[in-house]
Amino acid sequence: MNITMNRSEIISSVNRAPMHTPFGAYETAEQALTLDRTASKYMVSLNGTWQCGVYETLEQVPEDWYENMPQCREIKVPACWEFEGIGKPVYTNIPYPFDRTRGDHSFETEVTPGNYELNAPYIPKENLTVCYYRHFELPESFAGRKVFLNFGGVETAFEAALNGVKFGFSEDSKLDAEFEITDLIREGENFLAVKVMSFSPQSYLEDQDYWHVHGITRNVSLYSKSPVRMVDYQVQTLFGSSMEDAFVRVRIWPDHDTPLFGTGRVFMTLYDAEGKPVAEKETKPFAEYRSYLGPDKIAEEKFPVPSPCLWNSEEPYLYTLVLEMRDGEGNVTDIESCRVGFREVRIQNGILELNRKRLVIRGTDLHEWSSDTGRTVPEDELRKTICSMKALNFNAVRTCHYPKDSAFYDLCDELGIYVVDETNIETHGYGGGLSDSPLWLSAYMERAKRMCLRDKNHPCVIIWSLGNESGAGANHAAMYGWLKAFDNRPVQYESGGSRPEMSDIICPMYPDRDWIETCMSNGDNRPFIMCEYIYAKGNSNGNMDLYWDMIRKYPRCQGGFLWDYHDKGVYVKSADGKKQLRYAGAFGESVKDPVPDMCLNGIVFADLTPKPAAWELQSLQSPIQLVYRDWHGIIGSYYVVNENLSMDTSAYVFEWELVCDGFPAESGILDLPPVKPGESRRVELPYDRNLVEGEAFFNLTVRQKEACQYAEAGHIIYRKQIPAEGSRTYRPERLPEYRGPERLTVRGEEDGILRIGDENSLEIRFDRERGALKEVRKDGKVMMGGEQDVFYRAPTGIDEGQGTNCYNEDWIREGLDDPKGKVESFHVYQAEDAVFVKTELSHLDGKISLEKMYEISGSGISLKVSAVNATCLETLPRIGQTVILPEEFHAVRYYGRGPWENYRDRKEAAFVGIYDSMVSDMHVPYVRCSECGGREDVRWLEICSDSGEGIRISGSRYFHFSALPWTIRQYAQADYQDQLGESCGTVLTLDGVHAGLGGDTGWTKNIHPEYRITPGCYEYEFRFRWIGREDRA
């Protein structure tokens, strides 16, 4: 067998066995009922420590690589070899990891001009290759049986040999490759050799937006079967006129290589979740059945299961089907089993339905990635990931952009996650040319077929996907046709506009509000489900509420998949021994994506800790909602809406609280009769209206009543805050009238520094040249210093976009990061009880002008600002002031939105209240440092030392603030958290106005107009006063 890596024909495999549902090769029916595929004596894991030889190019591999083990080093299997000290991980979004224009590569053939100068199917000589070796013993229990070797996943292509004989080759790195080795294996010790290549011709089909890593990345196992065996089986649940009229249909493919197959038959038993049999069925001998989709005979039987428990995300009830194959003498020769979830997926009148109810996809895209181990994700980490999704009210995953390890689907069946199973095809960096090429048809078809054949029996899989960003061509239409003929699930595909001939669903990426509105009325009556939306790069995810408004407004707008779930970095150890996350470019790799941190777009961090935006989305996509409905705008009421498919509201506890001016006034449990799934109930908000005073809010918190697999009892699933009836608008604080014995006067000026103070304890210094407050001292101690006008923020992932034509590029070009203000005037006025300082400043050659009036008295300082933005920028990031406070001022109490970080376009789930925090805790550790820690709609705040001494700040209207250990410049200049450097104290930034974050996409300017700081005049006022412990709120 001689496989060349550069050729004019596409060879996907040599001697690879047909794909099938995962086997357990069980010994008994009782063992099969456990569904433990590792329990049988006929199943052996080859995971563990192997030996390997490393070669920079394929040509360097010795010709006899499979016969003798060279000088080797140890390597773990499964593992990505980049995480074992071999090679470097490469992250790209669009470019191929062997893209000639992105690094120093030499191709084996002359390239032709075109997109990135690539030339499929040819690959570069620079092709790191690792040869794996291990010895293993053949179990005695395998004697007389057929023996199979299964590789769960190998990136990217591999050739295998046993006992010095090459027997197989496979491409498609995200699906099992299995080989029958009965004729090669021998009793006792065997020698297995596997040559794994980084790149192969079909690497052109695997240009996903991810880290390109390699090796034997999934499990390797050896199993044996009787010659009289099942080759595959398919299980489907069908329904009649109602969901109580249920059937199970089973198709079984026998091994036709055995002459005895015709007399064999299969006994099927369906067990409920408690292990009790509920239905049985026996096939006829296989010889009596017809052929199906090919020349081979299959057995097909259907049996009823009246009124079954249904499977859905809320209540993922699972049965177990055990299949026992028996020969003509009645001897059991083969036993398999799988979970069965009774559910129906269909599209009816333009609506995607599950169990004949409208299904809302609360989804996320999920890459197969661990920042500790790369593409090799341990099962316990997979479980933890899915549980964290469920806790945030996600109910669906799109397997972007390839099938996952089989264990993932088992967990989704168990925990209740709907899956869009996506074919391992993406040609983003090559365009769509391959999708119309007959040369590549078999590779396209094979990838879709094999995915479907492996995952077909999982109830969690509700939709097949033809791949991602590969253009739209005849090959996709052929894939669609086969999937629709073989299976009854819908099929989707985004590229090319979700054409009806290849997609049952309109599944766009990142549509805006207008696009959605158009799609709801353009006559295309298919379900509308966004395959990617609300881009979660760094500190982003503004405007999520607008999407959920649409989902609840239009029945055909049925949700979408957030891009994406978790940050995908690589952990390294820093000089101090701590784990630090790194992104593209940190490893000296020769190919680096133009946007190196584009892999950091999770709604949760790499360790699954939710980012602040996650709490916003959790409430927005919660299946329980409190909504106000009115009648023609005249009279209305609040309703509890239950969007669940099967659970009523008795599963939850509805806690409420009345809060007045930030302080609790009353609380209780909402006495709510159960609201059935899909229904709503009018509720009277039960607080005492006589207790309402000042600014008052009604807070509702919905918790799970009982513990479940993914959360403890009391877990919060929904939060909602509404103004209480009779609430008054918050009245801004005024500085208290000063009644002290000392007057504040101008005490002198030296070197441009103006000193204002009283006879004893207070001194305030102004910098005439900067037109700003320089320092405040009280009793000789610095209380505040270093006021500076600020119009810039450390750029977020959305601000930076793709690096060009982005907000941050505009801001830097305009000079916002270092505005260098010019003092146009500086005047000091002495009044009876106060000193007034008026300054006029111009920044950016007059494009931003400020008029600031300081009123200084013994009670504190009032700062009134009138700012004029005359720039041509689409938006400024902020208009405000920053001051440096002593480091010991680290305790924060504020009245505003919290408790987590929030911004103008991402604050729905952040309640107005009084919150306590430490400055260090207000920092949010986004991997790439950026603007963080902001709080919106703030009425007042206090920052104090442990002794209670500090400063209280209030505004003439709601304002935005952050209190952080580092400056804006430090955040903007640091690539990583461990590069922030030393803190210079508490950096307090007070913004009269702060722009939204955006988040519709990661590569356009998409802060919505209502959240921009556009040209115009902005006025605000801050009032500072010094407080002690007795003065704190």
Q: For residues 370 and 331, state if they share a domain.
A: no
**Domain final position from 689, 723, 757:** 723
Total count of domains within the chain = 5
Q: Check residue 202 and give its pLDDT.
A: 95
Q: Check residue 108 and give its pLDDT.
A: 43
Q: For residues 754 and 818, state if they share a domain.
A: yes
Which CATH number belongs to the domain containing residue 810 in this structure? Answer: 2.70.98.10
Q: Check residue 759 and give its pLDDT.
A: 66
Tens-place pLDDT, residues 904-928: 999 999 999 999 999 999 999 999 9
Tens-place pLDDT, residues 970-1010: 999 999 999 999 998 999 999 999 999 999 999 999 999 99
d(CA 531, CA 564): 11
Report the pLDDT averaged over residues 334-355. 98
Which CATH number belongs to the domain containing residue 296 in this structure? Answer: 2.60.40.10
- Asked whether the beta carbons of 43 and 478 are under 8 A apart, the reply is no
Whether the predicted pLDDT of 423 surpasses 60: yes
Is 77 inside any structural domain? yes
Q: For residues 776 and 908, state if they share a domain.
A: yes
Q: For residues 90 and 176, state if they share a domain.
A: yes
- Asked whether the beta carbons of 158 and 169 are under 8 A apart, the reply is yes
User: Tokens 């094999």 correspond to what residue?
Assistant: 450
Q: Check residue 100 and give its pLDDT.
A: 59
Among the listed ranges 125-129, 647-651, 864-868, 964-968, which one has the minimum average pLDDT value? Answer: 125-129
Among residues 878, 837, 913, 858, which one has the least CA distance to residue 660? 913
Whether the predicted pLDDT of 932 surpasses 90: yes
Catalytic option among 368, 422, 494, 532: 532
pLDDT classification of 69: cutoffs 50, 70, 90:
confident
Is 438 inside any structural domain? no
Whether the predicted pLDDT of 293 surpasses 60: no
Q: For residues 760 and 881, state if they share a domain.
A: yes
Is 41 inside any structural domain? yes
d(CA 337, CA 23): 8
Q: Check residue 110 and give its pLDDT.
A: 40
CA–chain centroid gap for 745, Å, is 58
Q: Check residue 109 and give its pLDDT.
A: 41
Q: For residues 266 and 150, state if they share a domain.
A: no
Stated pTM of the model? 0.95
**Domain final position from 616, 644, 675:** 616
Q: For residues 234 and 219, state if they share a domain.
A: no
Among the listed ranges 23-37, 338-352, 617-631, 763-777, which one has the minimum average pLDDT value? Answer: 763-777
Among residues 397, 428, 420, 396, which one has the least CA distance to residue 116? 428
Q: Check residue 736 and give its pLDDT.
A: 65
d(CA 887, CA 370): 37
Report the pLDDT averaged over residues 400-409. 98
Sheet holding 230-239, edge to edge: 230-239, 246-254, 299-304
**Domain final position from 225, 258, 288:** 225
Q: For residues 612 and 716, state if they share a domain.
A: no
Q: Check residue 613 and give its pLDDT.
A: 98
Catalytic option among 155, 159, 426, 469: 469
Tens-place pLDDT, residues 632-677: 777 889 999 999 999 999 999 999 999 999 999 999 999 999 999 9
Is 542 inside any structural domain? yes
137 is catalytic: no
Please confirm whether the linkage preceding 508 is cis (ω < 30° from 0).
no
pLDDT classification of 2: cutoffs 50, 70, 90:
low
The residues pairing with 189 across neighbouring beta strands, listed in sequence order, are 137
The backbone torsions φ and ψ at residue 60, rounded to the nearest 5 degrees and listed phi first, read -80, -10
Is 472 inside any structural domain? no
d(CA 763, CA 782): 9
Among the listed ranges 19-33, 169-183, 849-863, 896-910, which one has the minimum average pLDDT value? Answer: 849-863
Tens-place pLDDT, residues 860-892: 899 999 999 999 999 999 999 999 999 999 999
Is 404 inside any structural domain? yes
Q: For residues 152 and 294, state if they share a domain.
A: no
| Cβ partners under 8 Å of residue 723, min gap 6 | 696, 697, 698
Rg (CA), the chain: 33
How does strand 557-563 pair with strand 528-535? Answer: parallel
Q: For residues 1023 and 883, state if they share a domain.
A: yes
Tens-place pLDDT, residues 784-838: 988 999 999 999 999 999 878 899 999 999 999 999 889 999 999 998 888 999 9
pLDDT classification of 104: cutoffs 50, 70, 90:
very low
Is 590 inside any structural domain? no
Tens-place pLDDT, residues 697-751: 999 999 999 999 999 999 999 999 999 999 999 888 776 665 555 577 887 888 7
| Cβ partners under 8 Å of residue 124, min gap 6 | 98, 100, 105, 106, 107, 108, 199
Q: Check residue 294 and give its pLDDT.
A: 62
- Asked whether the beta carbons of 370 and 581 are under 8 A apart, the reply is no
469 is catalytic: yes
Is 444 inside any structural domain? no
Question: Residue ranges of the alpha helices (H) in 670-822?
Answer: 797-800, 807-814
Please confirm whether the linkage preceding 78 is cis (ω < 30° from 0).
yes
Which percentage of the chain shows pLDDT scores above 70? 96
Q: For residues 137 and 249, state if they share a domain.
A: no
Tens-place pLDDT, residues 198-209: 999 999 999 999
The backbone torsions φ and ψ at residue 213, rounded to the nearest 5 degrees and listed phi first, read -130, 165
The residues pairing with 251 across neighbouring beta strands, listed in sequence order, are 234, 300
Q: For residues 821 and 872, state if they share a domain.
A: yes
Domain carrying residue 997: 745-1031
Among residues 196, 177, 216, 206, which one has the least CA distance to residue 84? 216
Q: Check residue 5 and give its pLDDT.
A: 54
Which CATH number belongs to the domain containing residue 421 in this structure? Answer: 3.20.20.80
- Asked whether the beta carbons of 883 and 787 are under 8 A apart, the reply is yes
d(CA 214, CA 196): 8
